[in-house]
Structure 1
């Protein structure tokens, strides 16, 4: 899928893992990045392997839910509201996403139960659909992103610097990863909050990718170099100029990693004279303001220590158990 947007141009591509029968990744992009139509990107990676036979559905549910919640969130962005919105992004929205996903999974199972039967333990059912999730919202004046589990959110700034703002402090072990199937998985969601008081100095490239891409490189430096090269090609040729190349790059990555590989990116488009388009924040003054999803005058409680009950979440073909 390729589309040109007023301020961003986007691309979403996914390839099935080499030798696999089913792609368990899912991704989606919606919006233009304006005040009335925030840009929302999401990718999810179903865990695969025999332990997670419905994880392709789990990934699709995760992306669909994030896009819906992300658009609601983007519509709330207003000057003077960012402090309260930041608390909502850090605490309440992650819990909503996890609870919504687990409810959707349980309802799907109730309609279409497997051999275990409709009355199978809820935690066992959630495990069958296990998935990671990365999502981002870009609107005038604000860039926010969320991540649960593996994969990468990569940003290229105006000076060409590549950064991974949601990278965990400690790398996860092997193919072990956090998952939406963990009962209180919202405690494990990482959040990046980045106000953009000067939009012209904001990110030039935001890329979300499942771990099938990064695992294809021998080192973190190799993955960073790939992103830098991708940005250079985008800056020179734009999305239409690389659209046919990206699937080939991902297929090559899949041959190295053996995993499904998905990339969803947004590249800051420039005007015909080579300068960024007009500042879209002026639309805030006329955009309708929806009601906030929190109670006025209340503040969220700090998140307690993580707890989980999905006993072991791994991506794809490994069976490493979470302690």
Structure 2
């Protein structure tokens, strides 16, 4: 008989209120063993008229991270961590950005828009703009990367909720860093957390797009939701909440007006059966439900393409790696209802970036 998985995963995505297209994408796969590292990713396409292909950009981002994440997880072995740390902080972010930009350019070459196949590369990348959060869990190690908004949330074995990649300074309004920015790898935040004692490893790791956190009136509300989610998971496991999560995300979307995606991994080493507190109680002080988004809703966003990395030197002295060519996925995240921070890091958190309006538009 095969051993039970160390982790159980769940991934769910719902479309924003009044939108015609979900511009989020997510991945949740693996069990966290040496042979099957756990990989989580969520990506949020910007969605306004300036980014008409951002749904594809989000899809490319999450799927390409999954491929690189599996490669990284397979390298995690005792004695390799010092080298892997440098790779995770510097090399992998650049590879991720180059992978994505190469994939976008290749897609444009096959399916150009009205601007034509010879449109300027930077203009083309902008059309697919997306954020990205990704995490890899392997025996003895948790690593996560973030570009742009959204949340990485960790619940420790004592029930404490923390957000290891929360920026030191809040981003301004709807502006966020994006994969479409030149040298975007300089803006990636990295969380490196060795886990030498398995019994003290996190119990829950969750990645979510900002459609979830924006549905609460305060950061405390979002933290309370995560605590409630963890207690439900600890009591019932993923199967016990699988039918509830899509409804919770739909409620979040009703308040934020945005697509909402959640990819989580729960360490299932406790007995399940009893019910925990309802995490939706955190919405008792949530803002009023959002009005529908879209061209007919009076939304007139002014898109900006501020690139805080434009003045930074390019550390790459060799050509980029050949692009990955993972199989093109045929489905989104499955709907369960249908079946140690690095204080020495020099990476900066941008205070300006790409406008993230999430207005629904048709792709040409």
Give TM-score scaled by structure 2 length. Answer: 0.76
Residue number in structure 2 paired with 1:50: 49
Structure 2 distance, partners of 1:82, 1:312, is 34
Q: Contact conserved, 2:188 with 2:347, CA < 8 A, in 1?
A: no
Structure 2 distance, partners of 1:109, 1:155, is 37
Structure 1 distance, partners of 2:50, 2:12, is 26
Within 5 Å, give how 1:1-323 maps onto structure 2.
Answer: 6-270=5-269, 312-317=354-359
Tell me, what secondary structure is at the counterpart of 1:193?
strand
User: Relative to structure 1, is the Cα distance of residues 206 and 312 closer, same or farther in structure 2, using a 3 angstrom cutoff?
Assistant: closer
Residue number in structure 2 paired with 1:289: none
Q: Contact conserved, 2:9 with 2:29, CA < 8 A, in 1?
A: no
Structure 1 distance, partners of 2:9, 2:240, is 12
Measured after TM superposition, the shift of residue 306 of structure 1 is 8.9
Residue number in structure 2 paired with 1:288: none
Structure 2 distance, partners of 1:225, 1:266, is 18
Deviations 1:139-171 (A, max 9, x none): 000000000000000000000000000000001
User: Relative to structure 1, is the Cα distance of residues 197 and 222 closer, same or farther in structure 2, using a 3 angstrom cutoff?
Assistant: same
Structure 2 distance, partners of 1:20, 1:154, is 27
Alignment: residue pair count: 287
Deviations 1:218-275 (A, max 9, x none): 000000000000000000111111111111100000010000000000000116699x
Tell me, what secondary structure is at the counterpart of 1:27?
strand
Tell me, what secondary structure is at the counterpart of 2:239?
helix
Measured after TM superposition, the shift of residue 30 of structure 1 is 1.8
The unaligned stretches of length 5 or more in structure 2 are: 274-320, 322-344
Measured after TM superposition, the shift of residue 317 of structure 1 is 3.3
Q: Contact conserved, 2:43 with 2:59, CA < 8 A, in 1?
A: yes
Structure 1 distance, partners of 2:221, 2:60, is 32
CA RMSD between the two structures: 2.2
Structure 1 distance, partners of 2:103, 2:79, is 34
User: Relative to structure 1, is the Cα distance of residues 126 and 224 closer, same or farther in structure 2, using a 3 angstrom cutoff?
Assistant: same
Tell me, what secondary structure is at the counterpart of 1:143?
strand
Residue number in structure 2 paired with 1:280: none
Structure 2 distance, partners of 1:18, 1:193, is 36
User: Relative to structure 1, is the Cα distance of residues 244 and 100 closer, same or farther in structure 2, using a 3 angstrom cutoff?
Assistant: same
The unaligned stretches of length 5 or more in structure 1 are: 275-292, 294-301, 319-323
Q: Contact conserved, 1:5 with 1:32, CA < 8 A, in 2?
A: no
Structure 2 distance, partners of 1:80, 1:139, is 14
Structure 1 distance, partners of 2:48, 2:4, is 38
Structure 2 distance, partners of 1:38, 1:93, is 17
Give TM-score scaled by structure 1 length. Answer: 0.85
Measured after TM superposition, the shift of residue 93 of structure 1 is 0.1
